[in-house]
Chains A and B, each alone.
Chain A
Amino acid sequence: QVQLQESGPGLVKPSQTLSLTCTVSGGSVDNAGYYWSWIRQRPERGPEWIGYIYYTGSTSYKSSLKSRLMLSLDTSRNQFSLRLASVTAADTAVYYCVRTRIGVTEGNITTSFDLWGRGLLVSVSS
């Protein structure tokens, strides 16, 4: 079955760039039926969608993170990645990579986060 696995450093210094990679196994990132999302969850808070990328390379980002965020996709490695620049302590969170199913509800494209990685805790601290 399809599985997602996050990888990257667990500690990043303030003002540096956080880089994470998600490896997808048992399925393909160039499946037209899915976006590939990053979601984070700060301590004692609800999940927060950060952004997604489609197999065509098109992206959608949370508006408040747009200036610092870049998502990319590597179909040859079946991976997608996140780069978040100029991090602060407020970026400390568990970061999840998530398969995002594209659906149609009442004629509009909707999404649901149907398969999650186990999550990776990233702390921002000097």
Chain B
Amino acid sequence: DIQMTQSPSSLSASLGDSVTITCRTSHFISTYLNWYQQRPGEAPKLLIYAASTLQSGASSRFSGNGSGTEFVLTIRDLRPEDFATYYCQDSYGALHFGPGTKLQIK
């Protein structure tokens, strides 16, 4: 079974900063990787699919990169609504989610 890890598990940043979240998988998954944002009390929301394609309606301040076993989500120019938990997800196979990265305001 594929194992997914995310780093860091939490981070603090200020408004206007840029941050990077990394997702690593135990098996090669090409670009079969999605990213989601979950605000407290809400359902997750799709941000990026196929590792780097921005979902319709998602802010262009979000970008994704990577392939194989290492993937990166970058958020530029942090705004108050970006402080949330972010999950990566394997989009082919067992459809596992990563453990999440909680982004908090500094």
Contacts and interface: CB of A to CB of B under 8 A. Distances in A.
B92 A110 contact: yes
B31 A106 contact: yes
Majority secondary structure, B binding face? loop
Given A112-B46, A112-B49, A105 B99 contact: no
A118 B34 CA distance: 20
Interface residues of A, number: 21
Contacts of A49: 94-97
A9 interface: no
Contacts of B32: 105, 108, 110
Interface of B: 30-32, 34, 36, 38, 43-46, 49-50, 55, 87, 89, 91-92, 94-100
Interface of A: 46-49, 62-63, 96, 103, 105-106, 108-114, 116-119
Given A105-B32, A108-B30, 14 more contacts: A46-B97, A46-B99, A47-B44, A47-B97, A49-B94, A63-B94, A103-B49, A105-B31, A106-B31, A108-B32, A110-B32, A112-B91, A113-B44, A117-B43
